[in-house]
Structure 1
């Protein structure tokens, strides 16, 4: 939950521009506190960044704001925050659903193109408020999740966002445990207390956190064009730490498991629906397919322009769905009900696979792959392993010599609400072209 706090009764409080006359000890009511902070923020935003004493004055005002918030002791003040309806920009408030924890954040104006955000956490404990300055985080927090542990102190997951440059943004999760104070909780993989993903402004991606924070979905930006859909890896909480969710396969995987379409020009993956009618055009690079459910797909490829158009005519539709692919040779590798699996040209070991939902008329997901196999209602995916990230090399049955390549395998659950990719734990070696 994100609220923006206005200046409600600014005339009641008199403050200098640097905040040095702030009498925080008298601010016992929420309205008075909100007014005081709002005036200081107003003064902070009026400062001329080109002034010789800008940094000094900005620092003084930020210290004054922090001092007021850190001396909050009355739980009623949080209730006053919630009651505010007339919102304006300035101080932002995020809060747990049970209102036991809140974080107040504001822009210090000291960070330039990478805004330096200040934050103070307020925790209700035994009918009192405990306050904690969150140093060095520089994120404006939008959500707080409580990760309950039956035998231990609760863990709070703070979710926020910020900017690392004029064109780059990020979203971050920070874990804190309250036990005689607020301290970082090292519960994320590799013994970390936080995880962060970056994105280009205008192409935002975000964590998806379940209400009880037991699962965290992390978007994977394999391809910068998110119009092709994202995939998510999943962190699951086991009671002590988060671990990447895996999916076990009950048969061994090898290079032979990923043979691809049986005929690249007009072939389909094993498990695909086969068209009941195929009409080849004179140029041999375009054709029309008709499937048993009456869906018709027309493929037109221009080898000179290296562009492909897929036209999809669903049942009772008068206007086809047109999927253009510039600079790509796109081929239909499989169809299962309303799902299309489209392979795009790329390097021999790392090509995009797109999954398109005809009913929703949108891409569900895209994934980089060196080999795919339809498996029940999921997709098995092979991806090459970087030589510096192999660890213990898998044993090779066939000797490929200097052209040996190593692959990791995943299960892609494309039918999930958030399409998830999970390691199978199996690796294999093969031939690198």
Structure 2
């Protein structure tokens, strides 16, 4: 298989379609996504049947419960996928938005205007919803997309993709705007990573191995996060009822997502640590802690040095006691992946200092880290969460899939 040639062809088709997309009025692009959502609902039975086949094959292959949870969809999740598509359609259109404008002393009028990035390659594992989330965001932001999902979800991804582009076609939009690599050959990923000039941005969504490979091998700019080592810090001023409620949710609501808390830091001044640890253990969470943790909660086991730098994606939590806010911030600086870190506190001065000094893409006060999600942020969906410092950070949605150009209007000025 000549994957380099095939990717070049797909990228050319996607670019041509994206140029047409970018010229369409906002309402036409929104309409296309509404048609796609209807097609997904209409094809629900076929999508569920495809997913059953994927889940059965993945279970036979020994995938973990967390990975199976990411892979599995049901009627509720299909509705969520369609609703997310509609939510993207209802967002403010970034294209053509003026970022800033000025007039120079020589009379030149300058504006910076948002435009699509071009062709975006999305390489992802396990979660079939990414097929639609990524496609919808790219269409609404006027970008072409090339999707390459993991082999474990090939049947589900294929069914969702066909429903999505069926909707685009019904709305009069070229289905070439979104291309899908209907093949599990890993060489396709290598060809995407090498496609400088054909693909403008690569977004990996998946495990550490996938993201590390993409970041190491790509000849195309990459927007990614490697780990979701998220912290929740319970300050001495925290309300105990709130602390229990927020922390248990942050860890146990869905353990396999990147916004799940992986390390709990407890201020030694917090009055009810035993209640907090008991609630976690009673909820089925394995606690790996320091000596104080084990002394307070007998079900806890000793943490190793590696635990503080581990994204478990499972019902496992590392726990440490700290002296104060300074110690918590220092621990987070040493071990956080820069994804999402939270504080539970009633003291606003302490909380504001935490929010100002913790250098992560998302920082939270009195909220579960499980809210680290584009949909929860009102972005409709997300193409991924970026933890770097360039271009976009945190949940990447429509605005994060645009760049800008300078528009200069003159009246015949020449430069002396």
Pairwise TM-score range, normalised by the shorter structure: under 0.3
The alignment's TM-score, normalised by the length of structure 2, stands at 0.25
**Higher normalized helix content (fraction of residues):** 2
Larger CA Rg, structure 1 vs 2: 1
The alignment's TM-score, normalised by the length of structure 1, stands at 0.24
Relative contact order higher in (CA < 8 Å, ≥ 6 apart): 2
